Amino acid sequence: MRRFTVILIILFTASLSIAYAQAEKPDSILLEEIDSILAHYEEMERTHKVENVIKSYNERQLEREMKFSSDGALHLVRGLLLLWTDHNFITRDAYFEKKSNSFKWTDYAVGGIPLAANYVLKAAGVESRSKLERMLSANAMALGLSFGVSEVLKVSVHEGRPDQKDSNSFPSAHASFAFVSASILSREYGYISPWITIGSYTTAAGTELLRIKHNKHWMNDLYMGAGIGVMSTNLAYFLTDKIFGADAINSPELRKRDVERLIKFNDRASGFTFVSGTEIGDRTIRFDDARIKSGAAFSAGADVTWFATPHIAAEFMTRVVDVQAKVFDTPNPFSGGHLDLYHFDLGAKISSPYALGKRFATRVFAGVRMMDGDQFTDGHTTYTIPDETRFELGASLTYECLDSKNYAWGFNIDYYHTFSHYMKNRYSLASTWKILF
């Protein structure tokens, strides 16, 4: 009613002024000028609505930036579950090779790359999400929380390391530091490019793989450390924002490319996906007088997805899997070992958006699994698992959700059937981060 009244007043005023100023003009010219005034008014109304939408979006993004995020909780749940389910495997006597202690500092250096990049960008004058006082306070608090919680748990749990050097295996302080480092870079500069976030978490996953390869940790240690790192960072930023408030944040703003990305994701979500998770399933390899059993395995890889239609896509999938293994059913402890699996598969996916920015999908795939075997010995008897390459088939369920930080996140549940005598039925649960093409 108010808008109708305003329009009537404008029309009446415009008519009087035009009639008074240009009484000589024909009626058609007067009508054209009235139409012009109305068109201008409608354009102003549309502009006002758009401005309100953008303002509302920016305010919600700022509120989201200041809220506590629980996106590291899944890592903690995985770590606690594996601490329970892999208890018998972890406590079984086996002697893994002791590596040089210099790897300890090399692994810290790899994990610290994102943190170093964060301060290089800040020093170079690249605008971060935080002003300096927020960044310094939150980062110091995150590092303090992560190392404090990790050390308290190490002293409390007393879990032995694979190389039996000490009983400070759970959780991994290296993984905790690496994920603090990755989370900080993602929070501060992930808005610039999704490759910054993907790169930072790829480096953190690389640190996890190094700790396994250097025989310093079990899988549960790494997941727990990663969860502590992410949650410590989220809590540190949340508490810092309670102190400094919104004035210490360079507020997020809606960009044209954000809207285009949403449209693209709901139409054809082609892209590159980084994958990191756990592979489990058949864990036992039987010999006549012994069994070789594995723990939960570390898995990482990448998918390349191309949508031919809005719902049908082709995918190329790669995975690298590290499987820790021990000999059971023998009186003497044997050496521990690693079985390295490499999956290379081509798949077909059916994917559909069920809400704005959310997709569910199923896929089937086929390819090969290559395995690097290992030998296990007690000094007298040796059990050998040979290298092999075998054909495999599989199927998956996937979920993806478009994130405000330039990428889509989600998870995969994969089943692998390999035509082999060794661990032929395997399952993978993995987190995903996708960059759209």
Instruction: Give tens-digit pLDDT for 386-437.
Output: 999 999 999 999 999 987 667 889 999 999 999 999 999 999 999 999 999 8
To the nearest 10°, the Cα dihedral for 50, 53, 59, 62?
A: -90
180 and 37 belong to one structural domain = no
**Residue 251's pLDDT is what?**
86
**Torsion-angle region of 357 (φ positive above 0: left; ψ -120 to 50: alpha; else: beta):** left
Residues 6+ apart with CB under 8 A from 187: 129, 130, 233, 237
Domain closes at, from 227, 253, 279: 253
Q: Which residue has the higher pLDDT, 51 or 13?
A: 51
25 and 79 belong to one structural domain = no
Q: Does some domain include residue 248? A: yes
Q: Does some domain include residue 29? A: yes
Both tokens assigned to 155: 């002293």
166 and 284 belong to one structural domain = no
Residue 394: C-alpha distances to residues 33, 310, 346, 349 (Å): 69, 23, 10, 12
108 and 174 belong to one structural domain = yes
Which residue in this structure is represented by tokens 């480092």? 181
CB atoms inside a 10 Å sphere around CB 117: 19
pLDDT tens figures, 324-336: 999 999 999 999 9
φ, ψ of residue 406 in degrees (nearest 5): 85, -5
CATH number of the domain bearing residue 159: 1.20.144
- Average pLDDT score, the chain: 89
Asked whether the whole model's pTM tops 0.85, one would answer yes
**At 1, is the pLDDT very low, low, confident or very high (cuts 50, 70, 90)?**
low
Q: Which residue has the higher pLDDT, 236 or 100?
A: 236
The half-sphere exposure of 77 on its side-chain side, counting CA atoms within 13 A, is 7
Q: Does some domain include residue 143? A: yes
200 and 309 belong to one structural domain = no
Residues 6+ apart with CB under 8 A from 191: 129, 252, 405, 406
**Residue 107's pLDDT is what?**
95
Q: What is the mean pLDDT of residues 128-148?
A: 97
**Residue 60's pLDDT is what?**
82
Q: What is the mean pLDDT of residues 243-270?
A: 88
**Residue 412's pLDDT is what?**
94
**In terms of residues, how long is the chain?**
437
| DSSP string covering 369-407 | EEEE-EEEESSS-EEEE--EEEEEEEEEEEEEEE-TTSS
pLDDT tens figures, 166-204: 999 999 999 999 999 999 999 999 999 889 999 999 999
What is the SS3 assignment for 166? coil
146 and 74 belong to one structural domain = yes
Q: Which residue has the higher pLDDT, 425 or 64?
A: 425
Q: What is the mean pLDDT of residues 247-254?
A: 88
330 and 225 belong to one structural domain = no
Distance between CA atoms of residues 70 and 64, nearest Å: 12
Buried b / exposed e over 62-101, threshold 16 CB at 10 Å, is eeebeeebeebebbbebbeebbeebeebbeeebebeeeee
Q: Which residue has the higher pLDDT, 33 or 341?
A: 341
Which residue in this structure is represented by tokens 């050496």? 335
Distance between CA atoms of residues 255 and 268, nearest Å: 20
Q: Does some domain include residue 314? A: yes
348 and 429 belong to one structural domain = yes
Cis-peptide into 353, omega within 30 deg:
no
Q: How many domains does the chain have?
A: 3
Q: Does some domain include residue 62? A: no
CB atoms inside a 10 Å sphere around CB 301: 21
Q: Does some domain include residue 206? A: yes
Distance between CA atoms of residues 112 and 227, nearest Å: 17
Q: What is the mean pLDDT of residues 226-230?
A: 97
* CA nearest to 371, candidates 327, 320, 412: 320
Is pLDDT above 80 for 299?
Answer: yes
Q: Does some domain include residue 262? A: no
Is pLDDT above 80 for 20?
Answer: no
245 and 298 belong to one structural domain = no
107 and 43 belong to one structural domain = no
Distance between CA atoms of residues 227 and 212, nearest Å: 17
What is the SS3 assignment for 82? helix
191 and 134 belong to one structural domain = yes
- Residue-number span of the structural domain to which 46 is assigned: 2-56
Is pLDDT above 60 for 16?
Answer: no
**Residue 61's pLDDT is what?**
81
CATH number of the domain bearing residue 393: 2.40.160.20
**At 64, is the pLDDT very low, low, confident or very high (cuts 50, 70, 90)?**
confident
What is the SS3 assignment for 20? helix
Q: What is the mean pLDDT of residues 204-221?
A: 95
118 and 192 belong to one structural domain = yes
**Residue 253's pLDDT is what?**
81
Q: What is the mean pLDDT of residues 220-243?
A: 97
Sign of CA dihedral 281, 283, 287, 288: negative
**Residue 321's pLDDT is what?**
97
Kind and range of the H or E run holding 217: none
Q: Does some domain include residue 341? A: yes
**At 256, is the pLDDT very low, low, confident or very high (cuts 50, 70, 90)?**
confident
Is pLDDT above 80 for 300?
Answer: yes
